[in-house]
Amino acid sequence: MDERENANILRAVFDALPSLVFVVDQDVRIQEYNIAASDLLSVERTTVIKQRAGDILHCVHSREVPDGCGRSPFCKTCIIRNSVTEAFLGNRVVRRRARIELLQGATKKEIYALITASPFSFQDRPLALLVIEDISEIAELYRMIPICSVCKKVRDGKESWMLVEAYFKNNWGVDFSHGLCPDCYKIESDKLKAYIKTEQAKPPDPRSSDR
C-alpha cells in the first residue's frame, strides 16, 4: 500500500472507534477528532480545531473565568488536563475515572468517564491522544448498591446475597487485600488483652496437677 492508502486506513480506524478520541497539544487544544466526538460536539469543524477541549465540550468550569478552559481554580485538579500533562511528561495514563460537568444550553449535565491519554509524535511535533469513554450508565447502575445494614452483604441482580468482596470481584473484577484500620486494630487488641487477662486470672485446674 502507498502512503495515501495507509493514511486512509488509519483515518477509517480512527473514526471507527466508539469512544470520543481527540488529538491534543499540551494546552489540550484539539488538533483532530473522530466521528464519535463529532457526533457529540455537533458544531462546525472550524469551530473545534485549535480550541481547548473544555471550551468545546462546554465544561461548567470553563465558564467560571473569562480565559476559559485550563484557567479556573478547578482546572488544577481536572483529571483530563492532568492526564494530558502526564502524557507530555512521557507517561501513558490508562482509564482514569473522572466526573465531568457539562452545560447543554442552560442545563448542567453530569457524566462519568474513563480517561486515557497517550503521548506520540507527528512530524516532530509532540502531541497526545486523548480518549474519553462515557461510563455514565454503568456508574448509574452501581451508584445505589443494595447492602444489608447488619451483615453488610450485597444483593446482586439475581436477588442473591453475597459478601462485598465477592460482589465487586464478580461485577468489576476487583480484588481485595485485607488488613485492620487503626480503630479496629485497637478494638481487637483490647479484646485479646482482656481475654489473656481473664485466662490468667482463672484458678488452676486441679485435674492438671494430678497428671
Q: 0.75 exceeded by the pTM?
A: no
The domain segmentation of the chain, as residue ranges, is 3-140, 145-202
Q: Is the pLDDT of residue 59 over 90?
A: yes
- Give the tens place of pLDDT for each residue, 21-55: 999 999 999 999 999 999 888 788 899 999 999 99
Mean pLDDT of all residues belonging to the chain: 87
DSSP structure string for 36-53: HHHHHH-S-HHHHTTSBH
Q: pLDDT value at position 179?
A: 87
Q: Which stretch of DSSP H or E encloses residue 80?
A: helix 79-88
pLDDT value at position 111?
Answer: 86
Has residue 1 got a pLDDT over 90? no
Q: What is the mean pLDDT of residues 152-179?
A: 80
Q: pLDDT tens digits for 76-111?
A: 999 999 999 999 999 999 889 888 888 877 788 888
> For position 22, what pLDDT does the model report?
96
pLDDT in tens, 119-162: 999 989 999 999 999 888 776 666 667 888 888 888 876 678 98
Q: Does domain 3-140 have CATH number 3.50.50.60?
A: no
Give the per-residue pLDDT at 208: 62
* pLDDT for the residue 210: 56
